[in-house]
């Protein structure tokens, strides 16, 4: 009997020691570098910045018209129109579905947005649609923006919002403010910390998008607001270096060349987390994509609406808005 008790006590002791030894050396939970996962995707996209279907990131109405009238519905894109319901009803591209930008991820998750077709994003001027194009591209979709939005399709005044571009480019109010003086950046900053609790890039991007949309929404700012006090912002000129010099840039802005600056090991490390970042390009469509990416990465970023077209239109020699001259009414329905 004594031996049985001794064996029983010994067994308990072994269990106790083994348990204690496990407690003293707990398995550390694996740390997920969420920022690194997202930038791995972003590095790839913003280095190549293209689509496999042809036509580039910004699809022209001329190319879309050919696509939609070629008699082959199998190659048609899935078209999303982000305008208000009222304006969508006043006229839209045939087959388009009306979705609010805030519902983008929801419509992905519920299957409304297919993953086996090119997604063509449409809005009033190409600004919001470009933002959506970036988000979709980062999530692995083949996505494009319709160049200049519905303003690039028609000037029909019965379709709401088709004069937005022509109304914007008339004044050149800040053309004289551009400078050729180079401003360089060299101080490295700490990257934002993402803590969505997700472990893959797509899930992190979706959660970050929801956070952005649940807060201030997609970042945009007018030229008037920027020129009140440019020093208030960290301003990115998203142009090649030679064009940063000529026709010039917003005073104090930094040149971030397309396809060569947004990588984690490139110029991303110079971006501040304690200052609003303003990105501008020619039309505001590319800068909207950059703003989308930076917001998902946790930065306070805004796209300058309409780009330089919006405040120095006549200084530009390319990438200028022009109203459509052909009749594309065959692909519009009301």
Burial class (CB in 10 A: 0-12, 13-18, 19+), 254: buried
**What CATH number was assigned to the domain covering residues 175-315?**
3.40.250.10
Q: Who's near 187: CB < 8 A, 6+ residues apart? A: 270
pLDDT for the residue 12: 41
Three-point CA angle 221, 303, 47, nearest 5°: 175
Report the distance separating Cα 270 and Cα 191, nearest Å: 9
pLDDT tens, residue order, the chain (334 aa): 434 434 443 444 444 444 444 445 555 567 889 999 999 999 999 998 876 666 679 999 999 999 999 999 999 999 999 999 999 999 999 999 999 999 999 999 999 999 999 999 999 999 999 999 999 999 999 999 999 999 999 999 999 999 999 999 988 999 999 999 999 998 999 999 999 999 999 999 999 999 999 998 999 999 999 999 999 999 999 999 999 999 999 999 999 999 999 999 999 999 999 999 999 999 999 999 999 999 999 999 999 999 999 999 999 999 999 999 999 999 999 9
At residue 49, the pLDDT reads 80
Residue ranges of domains in the chain: 34-170, 175-315
Which helix (H) or strand (E) covers residue 61, if one does? Answer: helix 61-68
Specify the 3-state DSSP secondary structure of 59: strand
Q: Computed from CA positions of residues 210, 32, 189, 182, in that sequence, does the dihedral angle turn out positive or negative?
A: negative
Beta carbons of 104 and 139 less than 8 angstroms apart: no
Q: What's the CA gap between 305 and 311, in Å, rounded?
A: 10
CA 184 to chain centre: 25
112 burial level (CB within 10 Å; 0-12, 13-18, 19+): middle
Q: Identify the CATH homologous superfamily for domain 34-170.
A: Rhodanese-like domain (3.40.250.10)
CA 151 – CA 159 distance, rounded (Å)? 10
pLDDT, residue 21, reads: 47
Establish whether domains 34-170 and 175-315 are of one fold.
Answer: yes
Three-point CA angle 259, 253, 232, nearest 5°: 130
């Amino acid at each position: 009997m004594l031996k049985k008790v001794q064996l029983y006590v010994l067994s308990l002791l072994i269990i106790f020691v083994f348990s204690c030894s496990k407690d003293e050396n707990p398995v550390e939970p694996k740390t997920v570098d969420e920022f690194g996962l997202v930038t791995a995707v972003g590095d790839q996209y913003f280095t190549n910045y293209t689509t496999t279907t042809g036509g580039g990131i910004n699809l022209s109405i001329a190319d879309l018209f050919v696509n939609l009238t070629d008699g082959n519905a199998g190659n048609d894109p899935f078209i999303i129109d982000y305008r208000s319901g009222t304006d969508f009803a006043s006229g839209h591209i045939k087959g388009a579905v009306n979705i609010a930008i805030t519902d983008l991820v929801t419509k992905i998750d519920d299957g409304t947005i297919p993953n086996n077709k090119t997604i063509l994003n449409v809005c009033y001027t190409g600004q919001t649609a470009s933002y959506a194009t970036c988000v979709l591209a980062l999530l692995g979709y083949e996505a494009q923006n319709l160049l200049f939005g519905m303003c690039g399709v028609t000037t029909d005044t019965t379709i709401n919002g088709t004069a937005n571009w022509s109304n914007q480019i008339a004044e050149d109010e800040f053309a004289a403010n551009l400078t050729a003086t180079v401003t360089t950046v060299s101080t490295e900053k700490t990257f934002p910390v993402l803590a969505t609790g997700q472990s893959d890039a797509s899930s992190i991007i979706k959660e970050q998008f929801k956070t952005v949309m649940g807060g201030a929404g997609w970042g945009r700012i007018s030229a008037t607001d920027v020129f009140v006090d440019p020093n208030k912002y960290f301003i990115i000129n998203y142009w090649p270096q030679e064009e940063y010099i000529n026709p010039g840039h917003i005073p104090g802005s930094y040149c971030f060349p397309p396809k060569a600056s947004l990588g984690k090991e490139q110029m991303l490390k110079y971006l501040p987390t304690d200052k609003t970042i303003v990105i501008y390009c020619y039309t505001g469509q590319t800068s909207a994509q950059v703003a989308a990416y930076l917001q998902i990465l946790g930065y306070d970023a805004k796209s300058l609406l309409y780009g330089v077209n919006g405040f120095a239109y006549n200084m530009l020699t390319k990438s200028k808005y022009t109203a459509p001259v052909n009749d594309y009414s065959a692909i519009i329905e009301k």
